[in-house]
Structure 1
Amino acid sequence: MTAVLTGVVRGGRARTRHRRRVLAYGVCALLLLLVLLTVALTTGEMRLPATTALRALFGLGDSGDVLVVQQFRAPRAVAAIVAGAGLGAAGSVLQRLFRNPLASPDVMGVTGGASLGAVALVAAGASQTLIPLGALAGGLLAALLLGVFAWRSGLAVTRLVLMGLAVQAGLAAAVNLMIVRFPAELAGSALQWTTGSVYGRTWTEVWGASGAMALALIATFALHRSLAVLDLGDDSAGALGLRTSTARLQLLLIAVVLASLAAALAGPVTFVALAVPHLVRFVTGPPTAGSLALAALTGAALLLASDLVVQHLLPVEGLPVGAVTATLGAPWLLVLMFRQSAPVHRSQT
C-alpha cells in the first residue's frame, strides 16, 4: 500500500514538473516570437523605432512608415509565422503517427505536390496571387494519391512511409522536368518558389491562409485524444475501442492540410517540420496537447527567425528562406540518423 501511494505521489510530482516545463517553454517561445516580430517590423533599409512601427501597423503616423510596415514588412512576417506554425504542428503529428523521428511533409509527398501545383500555374502564366492556391491543390492531390494507395494496403505504417517517398520522388521529378523545359524568364521564378519564400506576400494571401490554418489547428487539437491513444500502439488502441485505420487516416489528412497550407503560403520549406518536434520533446518531455501547441509556436518562431537571417544577416540578396532552413536541415538530419543507428551498433557489440 505504501509503495502504491509513493508511486502516486511521484507520478503527481512528475506531472506537475512537466506542466511547469511546458508553461515555461511556452512563455519563452512566445516572448521570443514577439521580439522577432518587433525586429521584423523595425529593421530594413529604413529603420524605425518600435513605437513608430507599432503605430504604423495600426495606420497611425507618417504615411511612408505606414506603407512600409503595413504593405511590406507585416504581411511577410505574418506569413512566416502562420506557415511555421502549420509546419511545426504537421511535423509533430506525422512523427507521432508514424512513430518515426524522420517523418515530415517531405516524406508524405506534400512538398512535391505543392511544388507541382505552383509550377504548373507558373507555366500557364497565371497571376502570382493564384500560385498559392495551386500549391494547396497540389499538396492535397499528393495526399489523395497517398491515401488511395495506403487504403489499399491497409494503412500499415511502413508502407505509408515507402509510398510517401515514392510519391515525393515522382512529383519532384515532374517539377524538375517542367522547370528544365521552361523559358529562362519563367524557370528562375519557378525555381525560387520551389525553394520556399515568403517574399512579396499580400494581406489577401495571408488572411486567407491564416483563417484556414486556424481551422486546421483547431481540428488537430480536437483529434489529439485519438493521437494519444495511437501512441500506445495499434493493438492497445483497438482494445480501447479506437478504430485505428479511421483515426490514422483522419490524422494523416489533417497533417497534410496543415503542411499544404504552409506550402501554399511559403513554398515547400524544409527542415522546420522535421526539427521542431524534436526540440519540443527535448525540452518538455513526453508529448501532450500542450506540446503540440508548443510545436506550432516554435515552428512560427523558427521560420520567422530564418527569414530575418535571409533579409538582414546574409550578404546575398534575394535568397529564399528555404535555402537557410535546408542548410540547417542537412546536418540536423545527419545527427538524427546517427542517433537512430547508435543503439543498433551498441547492441551488436
Structure 2
Amino acid sequence: MAVLDRPVHRVPGRPAFRARRVSLVWRPRYVLVFLLGVAVLVLGVAANVGRGEYPIAISDVLAVLFGGGEQSQQFIILELRLPRSLTGVLVGGALAVAGAITQSIARNPLASPDMIGLTAGASAAAVFVIVLGGGFGAVGGFLASAGLPMAAFLGGLATATAIYALAWRRGVHGFRLVLVGIGLQAMLLAIVHWLLVVAEVFEAARAYVWLNGSLNARGWEHVLPVSIALAVLLPAAFVLAHVLGALQYGDDTARGLGVPVNRARSLLLLVAVGLASVATASAGPIAFVALVSPQIAQRLVGGARPPIGMSLVVGAALTVISDLVARTAFGATELPVGIVTAVLGAPYLLYLLARHGREARA
C-alpha cells in the first residue's frame, strides 16, 4: 500500500502525491482560494437567510445552521427561509459547473449553456409544459410541477444533440459550436414567445416570472431535484475532469494521448446538459451565471482552464449574493435574481467580445 505522507514525485514548484493509480498535485493557491470562497458563500447564505420581516442576525443564523439557536429561529430559518437560499446555492453551482464543462470542451469562454442555447432548449420545453398544464385540470397541474424537471432535461438534451450534430465537421471547434448555438437559441426563443402569446393569462404570467430566473417562494420540493442531480452528476464531472485537460490541445493531440475523444466529449456534454437543465427547471434560466463563474474561478486559481470545484463555489456564491441584492436593493420591491445576474454579467460579456475581437485582429 502506498503512503501519502511525503511527495514521491516532483513537479516544478509543486509536490505531487501518488497512490496506486491516483496522482494529485498540491496547489496551495487553489486550496486557499477555495476555502475563502466557501467562507464567502456561507456568509452570503447567512445574510440572505437573515433578511425578512423578522430580521435575524448573521451570528444567530450561523448558530441555527450549525445546530444551535432558539426554537422560534430554527423554524423561521430551516422551514421558511433556508430552502430559498439553498436552492440558489445548488442552482448556481450546477450552472457554473455546466459552464466550466462547455467552455472547456469548446475551448471558448463564450460557450456557456445560456449562450449556446442549452438553457433556451430547457426553457422552451419547460414553458411548453407550463402552458400545457393550464388546459388539462389536475393532470395538467401534475405535468406543470412533477413533469417540469424532466421536460427541461429532455429539451436541453435535444438542443445539445442538435448543436453537436450541426457543429460537427471532423471534430467540434469552439467558434462553430458558439455560432450554431446562437442560431438555435434564436429559434428556441421565438418558440418560447409564441407559446407565451397563445397561453392563457395566468400561465403566461407564471411563465414570464419563471423565464426571468426567480428564487421566490422556493421550498424543499425545489431543493430535492437539483440536489439529486448534483449528487449524481457532480461526481461524474470530477471523474471526467482529467479528460478536459487533454481536450484543450485539440482532438488529434487528445487522441495521441490515448483519450477516446468522442465518447469523453459526449459524456461530458451529457453531464453539462443534465446540470443546466435541472437548474433551469428549478429556478428558471438565471442569466450569465454559467458564463461568468467559470472565468472568475479560472482567474482566481490561475489555471489553464475553468476548474470545476472552484466554479461550483463561485457560481453558488454569485447566485446567493445576487438574490440578496435583488431582495434588498430596492426596498419593498423584490426583483427576480436573474435580472441582477444579467446586470452583473452583461458587461463581462461585452469585455469578452471586445477582447476576442482584438485577438482576432492581432
TM bracket (short chain): 0.7 to 0.9
Tell me which moved more, 181-190 or 324-333.
Answer: 181-190
Give the structure 2 partner of residue 317 of structure 1: 333
User: 1:186 deviation in Å?
Assistant: 2.4
CA contact (8 A) 1:72 1:200 kept: no
User: 1:44 deviation in Å?
Assistant: 1.4
- Aligned partners of 1:59, 1:176: CA distance in 2, in Å? 48
Moved beyond 4 Å, runs of 4+: 14-18, 54-60, 147-151
User: 1:244 deviation in Å?
Assistant: 1.5
Aligned CA RMSD, in angstroms, stands at 2.6
- 1:23-42 matches, within 5 Å, as 23-42=31-50
- Aligned partners of 2:172, 2:50: CA distance in 1, in Å? 49
- 1:256-335 matches, within 5 Å, as 256-287=273-304, 291-315=307-331, 317-335=333-351
- Change in 2 beyond 3 A, CA 1:254/1:308: same
Give the structure 2 partner of residue 111 of structure 1: 119
Paired residue secondary structure (1:107): coil
User: 1:55 deviation in Å?
Assistant: 6.1
- Aligned partners of 2:87, 2:166: CA distance in 1, in Å? 33
Give the aligned length.
Answer: 335
- Opposite residue 217 of structure 2, the aligned amino acid is G
- Opposite residue 275 of structure 1, the aligned amino acid is V
- 1:183-202 matches, within 5 Å, as 183-202=200-219
Give the structure 1 partner of residue 13 of structure 2: 13
CA contact (8 A) 2:124 2:155 kept: yes
User: 1:54 deviation in Å?
Assistant: 5.1
User: 1:132 deviation in Å?
Assistant: 3.8
User: 1:149 deviation in Å?
Assistant: 4.2
- Aligned partners of 2:103, 2:219: CA distance in 1, in Å? 32
- Aligned partners of 1:241, 1:132: CA distance in 2, in Å? 36
For structure 2, the 5+ residue unaligned runs are 1-8, 17-24, 135-139
CA contact (8 A) 2:106 2:172 kept: no
1:87 corresponds to 2:95: yes
Give the structure 1 partner of residue 245 of structure 2: 228
CA contact (8 A) 1:205 1:265 kept: yes
Paired residue secondary structure (1:232): coil
- Change in 2 beyond 3 A, CA 1:268/1:19: same
- Structure with greater proportional helix content: 1
User: 1:214 deviation in Å?
Assistant: 2.1
Report the identity percentage.
36
For structure 1, the 5+ residue unaligned runs are 1-7
Q: TM-score, normalised by structure 2?
A: 0.84
CA contact (8 A) 1:146 1:164 kept: yes
- Aligned partners of 1:110, 1:84: CA distance in 2, in Å? 16
Q: TM-score, normalised by structure 1?
A: 0.87
- 1:156-195 matches, within 5 Å, as 156-157=172-173, 158-195=175-212
